[in-house]
Amino acid sequence: MRVLGIETSCDETAVAIVEAPAGDGPVTSRPVGRILANVVYSQLAEHRRFGGVVPEIAARAHLERLDGLVGEALADAGLGLADLDGIAATGGPGLIGGVLVGVMTAKALAFAHDKPFLAINHLEGHALSVRLTEDVAFPYLLLLVSGGHCQLLTVRGPDSQGGDFTRLGTTIDDAVGECFDKTAKLLGLGFPGGPAVEKTAIGGDAQRFALPRPLWRKPGCDFSFSGLKTAVRQIAEKLPPDDPRAVADLCASFQRTVGDVLADRCANALALAPSPVLVVAGGVAANAYLRGRLATLAASHGARLVAPPPKLCTDNGAMIAWAGIERLRLGLTDGLDFRPRPRWPLDPGIEARP
């Protein structure tokens, strides 16, 4: 079974082709999947001078690049569109202009070549991505951390309602990825902020600056990062100019504090976990320091930490193609009347699938 996946929800134009054993029901064979092609056009150059993603620029870049990337992916895989079993695209959540570009392209390909169309929740793509490369069975506990999302969920797999997910906690204000980006911007480290802060923190004194840990040791699984972001701004404004050591120390202190908060919230969630497996996914999951903190936490609770390879943590087409395979094997497809969504929570108890 081969599915082409398109991801255009933010500032990455991505197309991939993934294959897995044919059959019915959840994917259980190992190794689980194989990436035949995975091409990404990063729009960093277009957005860097603005210090963040500009939705209109992102949508235009997707429109200009997507057709060429589809052709490149097919060439890399040595396949034609007739060799595919389905066309999947991110249907939301995300910047609606970009989502529209990906969905309309996927619909056109599916219609023209008589292939099933699959509208994938971007968050479901992240949630299931670990099963593309790792031996992880349903159910499992997921920490989903990215620029726009910070959630703890139990994952039981795809279903006809959009997926069997239960949200245990979410951020009550800012996402952790946004906090990384704002910290980098305050310190003049550039965009994207996550890799910049992680690199700058290497060798820094993580104990130099005492930063607040919102909701620390409180019951529940919710997160809060706005107070931490404010504290970083207040310290940054007082740093002496041209002092790279102070900047490195603040980055290290910030990263340690984020690790403290994530570990504390995940410890509460592990008490509710459906299995002794903690999966971390999303762009922030590429951070090696945070992975180490979470691995230590999981081990202390008799669990194991599993994460996708770093290249599959950031937005990519392979995770969308893989989610398409998981859904297609269950006979779940979408009509060409599917409407892209700027918002699309994973937990059906919050908002039902359209």
Alpha carbon distance 5, 26 (integer Å): 19
**How many residues make up the chain in this entry?**
354
How confident is residue 25, by pLDDT bands cut at 50, 70 and 90? low
Query: Same domain for 288 and 322?
Result: no
Q: Establish if 279 belongs to a structural domain.
A: yes
Query: Same domain for 114 and 178?
Result: no
pLDDT at 38: 97
pLDDT at 354: 33
pLDDT at 353: 35
Q: Establish if 336 belongs to a structural domain.
A: no
Q: Is 205 helix (H, G, I), strand (E, B) or coil?
A: coil
Query: Same domain for 118 and 250?
Result: no
Q: What angle do CA 86, 59, 174 make, to 5 degrees?
A: 95
pLDDT at 10: 87
Quote the percentage of the chain above a pLDDT of 70: 95
Q: Establish if 347 belongs to a structural domain.
A: no
Query: Same domain for 196 and 324?
Result: no
Q: Establish if 289 belongs to a structural domain.
A: yes
pLDDT at 305: 98
Cα–Cα separations (whole angstroms), residue 346 to 155, 168, 235, 306: 10, 12, 36, 20
Nearest partner of 181 among 8, 342, 50, judged by Cα: 50
- Tokens linked to 166: 């239960």
Query: Same domain for 231 and 269?
Result: yes
State the average pLDDT over residues 97-105: 97
pLDDT at 28: 62
State the average pLDDT over residues 46-57: 78
User: Position 217: which residue type?
Assistant: R
Query: Same domain for 286 and 324?
Result: no
In this structure, the number of other CB atoms found within 10 A of the CB of residue 90 comes to: 32
Q: Are 315 and 285 in contact (CB under 8 A)?
A: no
pLDDT at 162: 72
State the average pLDDT over residues 92-102: 96
In which domain, by residue range, is 14 found? Answer: 2-134+311-328
How confident is residue 150, by pLDDT bands cut at 50, 70 and 90? very high
Query: How big is the chain by its Cα radius of gyration, in Å?
Result: 20
Query: Same domain for 120 and 224?
Result: no
Q: Which of 61-75, 84-98, 182-196, 312-326 has the lowest mean pLDDT?
A: 182-196
Alpha carbon distance 231, 217 (integer Å): 19
Alpha carbon distance 52, 261 (integer Å): 25
Q: Give me the numbers of helices (H) and strands (E) for the chain, helices first please.
A: 11, 10
Query: Same domain for 118 and 221?
Result: no
Q: Establish if 7 belongs to a structural domain.
A: yes
Q: Which of 1-5, 30-34, 66-70, 188-192 has the lowest mean pLDDT?
A: 30-34
Peptide bond into 93 cis (omega under 30): yes
Q: Which of 27-41, 72-86, 164-178 has the lowest mean pLDDT?
A: 27-41
- pLDDT of residue 348 exceeding 70, the answer is no
Task: Compute the Cα dihedral for 350, 308, 334, 24 and give only its sign.
Answer: negative
Cα–Cα separations (whole angstroms), residue 224 to 2, 185, 230, 300: 40, 20, 12, 24
Alpha carbon distance 183, 258 (integer Å): 12
Cα 347 to its chain centre, rounded Å, is 16
State the average pLDDT over residues 310-327: 96
Q: Establish if 119 belongs to a structural domain.
A: yes
**Between 346 and 89, the higher pLDDT residue:** 89
Q: Establish if 264 belongs to a structural domain.
A: yes
Query: Same domain for 300 and 317?
Result: no
How confident is residue 303, by pLDDT bands cut at 50, 70 and 90? very high
Longest dimension (CA), the chain: 63
Q: Establish if 192 belongs to a structural domain.
A: yes
Query: What is this structure's pTM?
Result: 0.93
Residue range 186-232, pLDDT digits in tens: 999 988 899 999 999 999 999 999 999 999 999 999 999 999 999 99
Answer left, alpha or beta for residue 335, where phi above 0 means left and psi between -120 and 50 means alpha: beta
- Please count the structural domains in the chain: 2
Peptide bond into 31 cis (omega under 30): yes
State the average pLDDT over residues 230-240: 95
Alpha carbon distance 114, 208 (integer Å): 61
Query: In CATH, what number is assigned to the domain containing residue 283?
Result: 3.30.420.40
How confident is residue 19, by pLDDT bands cut at 50, 70 and 90? very high
Strands (E), 44-203: 86-92, 117-121, 140-145, 150-155, 165-170
Query: Same domain for 211 and 268?
Result: yes
pLDDT at 26: 67
Query: Same domain for 317 and 256?
Result: no
pLDDT at 304: 96
Alpha carbon distance 274, 278 (integer Å): 10
Q: Which residues of 287-310 are buried (b: 16+ CB within 10 A; e: fewer)?
A: bebbbebbbebbeeeebebbbbee
Query: Same domain for 9 and 71?
Result: yes
Alpha carbon distance 211, 206 (integer Å): 10
Cα–Cα separations (whole angstroms), residue 294 to 76, 120, 163, 189, 239: 36, 28, 25, 26, 31
How confident is residue 349, by pLDDT bands cut at 50, 70 and 90? low
User: Position 133: which residue type?
Assistant: T
Q: Which of 182-196, 261-275, 295-309 has the lowest mean pLDDT?
A: 182-196
Cα–Cα separations (whole angstroms), residue 7 to 66, 144, 314, 319: 10, 17, 11, 9
